[in-house]
Structure 1
Amino acid sequence: AMGPSVDSAGNDKYNPVDPADMSPDKHDPRDFALWKAPKSTDPLDARWNTPFGTGRPGWHIECSAMSHRYLKDMFDIHGGGLDLRFPHHENEMAQTRAAGYESAARWMHSAWVTAKGEKMSKSLGNGLSVPAVLAENSAWVVRYALGSVQYRSMLEWSDQTLAEAKSAYDRVANFIERAGAAVGEQPSHEEIASISADALPADFIAAMNDDINVSGASAAIFTAIRSGNTLLSKLADRADSDAAKAEVREVLVNVRAMLDTLGLDPLAEPWVNGGAAGGAAGSDADSAEHEALDKLVSGQLTERAEARKSKDFAKADAIRDALNAAGIAIEDSPQGSTWSLK
Structure 2
Amino acid sequence: YNPVDPADMSPDKHDPRDFALWKAPKDSDPLDARWNTPFGTGRPGWHIECSAMSHRYLKDMFDIHGGGLDLRFPHHENEMAQTRAAGYDSAARWMHSAWVTAKGEKMSKSLGNGLSVPAVLAEHSAWVVRYALGSVQYRSMLEWSDQTLAEAQSAYDRVANFIERAGAAVGEQPSREEIMAISADALPADFVAAMNDDINVSGASAAIFTAIRSGNTLLSKLADRADSDVAKAEVREALVNVRAMLDTLGLDPLAEPWVSDGAAGGAAGAGADSAEHDALDKLVSEQLAERAEARKAKDFARADAIRDALGAAGIAIEDGPQDSTWSLK
Give the TM-score, by structure 1 length: 0.78
RMSD: 5.1
SS of the aligned residue for 1:338 comes to: strand
Alpha-carbon offset, residue 88 of structure 1: 0.7
CA drift at 1:41: 2.5
Distance 1:290 1:310, change over 3 A: same
Query: Which position in structure 1 is the counterpart of 2:252?
Result: 265
SS of residue matched to 1:107: strand
> For residue 101 of structure 2, what is the aligned residue in structure 1?
114
The alignment covers a number of residue pairs equal to 329
1:62 shift after superposition: 1.3
Give the superposition deviation at 1:193. 1.3
Aligned-partner SS, 1:221 = helix
Q: Per-residue deviation at 1:95?
A: 0.4
Asked whether the 8 Å contact 1:145–1:162 carries over to 2, the reply is yes
Q: SS at the partner of 1:86?
A: helix
**Shift, 1:328, TM fit:** 12
Would the alpha carbon gap of residues 25 and 138 (structure 1) be closer, same or farther in structure 2, given more than 3 Å must change? same
How far apart are 1:340 and its partner, in Å? 8.2
Name the CA distance, whole Å, in 2 between partners of 1:176 and 1:83.
Answer: 40
The match for 2:9 among 19, 22, 34 is: 22
> Compared with structure 1, are the counterparts of its residues 326 and 205 closer, same or farther at alpha carbon in structure 2 (3 Å cutoff)?
farther
| Distance change >3 Å, CA 80–CA 55, structure 1 → 2 | same
Shift in Å, 1:276: 3.6
Contact 2:262 2:274 in 1 (8 A): no
Q: Which piece of structure 1 moves more, 79-88 or 236-245? A: 79-88
Unaligned runs of 5+ in 2: none
> Residue 83 and residue 48 in structure 1: after superposition, are their counterparts in 2 closer, same or farther (change >3 A)?
same
More displaced 10-residue stretch of structure 1: 38-47 or 252-261: 38-47
Distance 1:38 1:315, change over 3 A: closer
**Aligned match of 2:53:** 66
Q: Distance in 1 between matches of 2:287 and 2:3?
A: 59
Relative to structure 1, is the Cα distance of residues 215 and 176 closer, same or farther in structure 2, using a 3 angstrom cutoff?
Answer: same
Shift of 1:258: 0.5
Task: Tell me the secondary structure at the aligned position of residue 272 of structure 2.
Answer: helix
CA distance in 2, matches of 1:42, 1:199: 55
Asked if 2 retains the 8 angstrom alpha-carbon contact of 1:140 and 1:276, the reply is: no
Q: What's the TM-score once normalised by structure 2's chain length?
A: 0.81
Deviations 1:195-248 (A, max 9, x none): 111111111111111111110110010000000000001101100000000000
1:79 corresponding residue in structure 2: 66
Question: Shift of residue 73 of structure 1?
Answer: 3.3
- C-alpha distance in 2, partners of 1:296/1:276? 17
Cα deviation for residue 131 of structure 1 reads 1.1
1:274-325 Cα shifts (integer Å, max 9, x gaps): 1242554553399999999999999999999999999999999999999999
Once residues 227 and 169 of structure 2 are traced to their aligned partners in structure 1, the CA distance between those partners, rounded to angstroms, is 14
Question: For structure 1, which runs of at least 5 residues remain unmatched after alignment?
Answer: 1-13
The offset of 1:74, in angstroms, is: 3.2
